[in-house]
């Protein structure tokens, strides 16, 4: 009884708080509160009556009549208190005020809190954490897998089991996926949000590679695709800390329930497709969510309808489309390469590194978070997708030229020049590939004259040396001003002293 006397002395004599008394005496705050309640119910005060022995004090404090409940104090319904605390903005003080409005002679706030703490300690450990309504969705992959038989080959594939659990109501979602890779991981969470019919504020995954690019105790780096998914739904992703199982206790509890109440029941069944397996999982999942709690009122489904569903935010108008993120560097030809195809980027970003967001239909290019280009995705390897506005102004002006326009220009100089231009354009698979050579030839008329260029072109046609280099050499050396060679001068003699003939090799 020494501790009891010390509690009464420090509280009623010295005016110390319950927390200070518990720390000073090395006992729990709930024990301090219990002693004070019993002493108050027994009509004791400080100092204690003279001659009160330890045995008498014990009898007066711990006899049945000394319990507060028998003095007419109404015990709060802590099931309701625990459930209400999960609502957004709810506090224990507000619930105590409502309790005192109904029962003016009820417990003080400190006693109310102490008794709630005692009640919570007797509830199942997975229910001890208080989660706000609509706040957190815990996600994880189960360690156990399910077998799926290929109906064609008889091969057995193992399917992974994805599990998601809402923190406040424990409402659970599960499905089978082929892998734990990023596309399946993101797709499962999109379907989980559709199943819930709304968005939580936070998703809590494990530090698996699909979710976290670089694990860190305090600031893990999210996979860019996962961050893109979170941005689309307007939620935050806060991975569980490394080697901190309590951070993901809800997910582990959900995984355990799914393994026991769903997968264990499927162990004797055979499945021949993933959709078939998921249909059976969905049936058992409905029964799991409707199953009554053991130590709390209601079920996961009823708690979800009452607490979580009203607090969830509306889903976006369109579901998230899976997108892969990459990095690329803009080449001097103002294009980036993605899976063998080349896409244009504004010329001001040449040699800069950009982020590339790939969906099944589009290629988006971002620089410092701002989108600078968007293209329809192409599967043609070696091809180019180019936007004219991405080119420098001088290149844009060049695109205004056509083969017909070049030939009209050449005809104004002369027929030989026109013939050279036609031959150059026809020598390439795509006429645009010969534009530079044609420009070079036609501009020789500015450096020399149109008459000299026409003569040089006639000489090149006669000699069969049609090229910009050949024409430039002819003009530079003044060969255009010499007479054209005759056919006899162009032909070689069949007999010559330096020709050995066929007999030489016998």
**Hey, what domains does the chain have and what are their CATH numbers?**
2-127 (no CATH), 136-311 (3.30.420.10), 324-391 (no CATH), 401-490 (no CATH)
3-state secondary structure of 86: coil
pLDDT of residue 67: 47
* Residue 315: DSSP 8-state: P
- Bridging pattern class, strands 221-222 and 324-329: unpaired
The span from the CA of 285 to the CA of 304, in Å, is 14
The Cα–Cα gap between 484 and 264 comes to 97
pLDDT at 48: 77
CA dihedral 298, 301, 304, 309 (to 10 degrees): -140
pLDDT for the residue 68: 47
pTM, whole model, 2 decimals? 0.53
Give burial (CB, 10 Å; 0-12/13-18/19+) of 232: middle
Residue 460 to residues 417, 453, 468: CA-CA distances in angstroms? 10, 10, 10
CA-based nearest residue to 182, from 321, 318, 320, 322: 322
Dihedral, CA atoms, 476, 482, 487, 491, nearest 10 degrees? -50
DSSP per position, 186-208: HHHHHHHHHHHTSB-SEEE--S-
**Alpha-carbon distances, residue 375 vs 126, 231, 343, 372, 417 (angstroms):** 49, 22, 7, 11, 41
3-class secondary structure, 294: coil
Long-range contacts of 445-448 (CB under 8 A, 24+ apart): 445/413, 445/417, 447/475, 448/475
Q: What is the pLDDT of residue 391?
A: 80
User: Nearest Cα to 402, choosing from 438, 428, 450, 429?
Assistant: 438
8 A C-beta contact, residue 276 and residue 270: no
Q: Residue 78: its pLDDT value, please?
A: 84
Which residues of the chain carry a pLDDT beneath 50? 64-70, 124-128, 215-219
The Cβ-side half-sphere exposure at 454, using a 13 Å CA radius, reads 10
Report pLDDT for 346. 92
CA distance 423 to 416: 11
Please count the other Cβ atoms lying within 10 Å of the Cβ belonging to residue 141: 22
User: What pLDDT score was predicted for residue 219?
Assistant: 45
39-86 pLDDT per residue, tens: 887 777 778 777 777 677 777 776 544 444 445 578 888 888 887 887
**Sequence-separated contacts (24+) of 349-354 with Cβ below 8 Å:** 353/327, 353/328, 353/329, 354/327, 354/328, 354/329, 354/330
How far apart (Å, rounded) are the C-alpha atoms in residues 406 and 421? Answer: 8
- pLDDT for 287 equals 92
Taking CA atoms, 457 is separated from 215, 340, 481, 487, 491, in Å, by 70, 41, 12, 17, 20
Query: What H or E segment, with its residue span, contains residue 84?
Result: helix 78-84
């Amino acid at each position: 009884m020494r501790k009891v006397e010390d509690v009464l002395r420090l509280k009623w004599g010295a005016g110390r708080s319950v927390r200070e008394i518990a720390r000073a005496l090395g006992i729990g705050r709930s024990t301090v509160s219990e002693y004070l309640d019993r002493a108050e119910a027994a009509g004791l005060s400080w100092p204690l009556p003279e001659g009160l022995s330890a045995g008498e004090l014990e009898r007066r404090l711990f006899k049945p009549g000394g319990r507060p409940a028998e003095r007419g104090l109404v015990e709060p319904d802590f099931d309701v208190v625990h459930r209400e605390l999960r609502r957004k903005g709810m506090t224990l003080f507000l619930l105590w005020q409502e309790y005192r409005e109904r029962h003016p002679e009820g417990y003080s706030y400190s006693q109310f809190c102490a008794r709630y703490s005692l009640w919570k300690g007797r509830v199942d450990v997975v229910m001890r954490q208080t989660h706000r309504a609509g706040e957190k969705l815990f996600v994880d992959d189960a360690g156990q897998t399910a077998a799926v038989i290929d109906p064609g080959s008889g091969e057995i594939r193992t399917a992974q089991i994805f599990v998601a659990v809402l923190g406040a109501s424990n409402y659970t979602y599960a499905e089978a996926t082929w892998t734990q890779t990023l596309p399946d991981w993101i797709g499962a969470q999109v379907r989980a949000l559709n199943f819930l019919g709304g968005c939580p504020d936070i998703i809590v995954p494990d530090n698996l590679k699909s979710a976290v690019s670089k694990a860190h105790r305090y600031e893990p780096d999210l996979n860019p695709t996962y961050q893109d998914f979170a941005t689309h739904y307007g939620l935050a992703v806060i991975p569980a800390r490394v080697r901190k199982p309590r951070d993901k206790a809800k997910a582990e509890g959900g995984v355990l329930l799914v393994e026991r109440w769903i997968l264990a029941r499927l162990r004797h069944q055979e499945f021949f497709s993933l959709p078939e397996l998921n249909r059976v999982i969905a049936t058992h999942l409905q029964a799991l969510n409707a199953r009554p709690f053991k130590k709390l009122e209601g079920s996961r489904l009823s708690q979800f309808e009452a607490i979580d569903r009203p607090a969830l935010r509306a889903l976006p108008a369109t579901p998230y489309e899976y997108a892969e993120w990459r990095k690329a560097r803009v080449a001097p030809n103002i294009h980036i390469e993605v899976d063998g195809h080349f896409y244009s980027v504004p010329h001001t970003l040449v040699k800069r590194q950009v982020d590339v967001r790939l969906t099944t239909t589009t290629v988006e290019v971002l620089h410092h978070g701002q989108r600078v280009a968007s293209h329809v995705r192409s599967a043609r390897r070696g091809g180019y997708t180019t936007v004219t506005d991405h080119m420098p102004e001088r290149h844009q002006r060049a695109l205004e030229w056509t083969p017909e326009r070049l030939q009209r220009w050449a005809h104004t100089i002369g027929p030989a020049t026109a013939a050279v231009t036609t031959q150059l354009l026809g020598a390439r698979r795509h006429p645009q590939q010969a534009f530079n050579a044609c420009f070079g030839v036609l501009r020789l008329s500015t450096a020399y004259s149109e008459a000299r260029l026409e003569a040089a072109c006639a000489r090149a046609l006669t000699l069969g040396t049609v090229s910009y280099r050949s024409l430039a050499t002819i003009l530079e050396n003044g060969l255009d001003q010499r007479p054209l060679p005759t056919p006899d001068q162009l032909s070689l003699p069949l007999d010559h002293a330096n020709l050995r003939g066929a007999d030489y090799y016998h």
